Amino acid sequence: MGYLKANNKYGIIKEFKVKCNCCGCEIKISEREKIFPKKERYFCSRSCSNKRKHSNETKEKIANSLKKNLSIQKRVNERKIALSKNCLQCNKETINIKFCSKRCSAIWKNINLKIGRKGGLASVKSQSESRRSKNEILVNYVCKNFNQLNLTNKYLMDGMLM
């Protein structure tokens, strides 16, 4: 039903022959009769529609903006040179960072901050405190405090002695 109202209002859909605005080849367009010149220009392909013919004034504006951007880029490059530093570990030149690689960072931190040594010492301490499971600790507690079972020097849970 909706298409009948559209047909009455805008006309039926027909094929029209139109010339490409860029290359001049003839193409077929399907549009309604009463709206037919829907666009000012028609193109045969995306490449034809993207082609532009710039005036001299437009060309000058583009050139000026590019020249302005080049001067900004030169200032940024000069600033980068001013911000260049040397790697704290191997003395290679870097831009605005302390280390040239993750490897240099890790080596420097281990030597100067002794981070790896602290972690190793903490690990040794936790391992030397207790090597028994929670079940073995519980059975030992029950045996010593309640004296209900006499299980000292017997193998319990994975071969541990009480």
Percent of the chain residues past pLDDT 70, beyond the cut: 72
Dist. CA 29–CA 45, nearest whole Å: 12
Q: Predicted confidence band at 159 (pLDDT cuts at 50, 70, 90)? A: low
pTM over 0.95: no
Encode pLDDT of 25-80 as tens digits: 999 988 888 878 888 888 999 888 888 788 899 999 988 887 887 777 676 666 66
Range with the lowest mean pLDDT among 19-28, 79-88, 107-116?
79-88
Encoded amino acid at 79, one letter: R
Backbone angles phi and psi of 27, in degrees to 5: -130, 155
Look at 20 and 140; give whichever has higher pLDDT: 20
Q: Are 108 and 90 in contact (CB under 8 A)?
A: no
Q: How distant is the alpha carbon of residue 40 from its chain centre?
A: 42
- At residue 26, the pLDDT reads 93
Q: Is the pLDDT of residue 153 over 60?
A: no
The CA dihedral of 34, 39, 41, 43, to the nearest 10 degrees, is -90
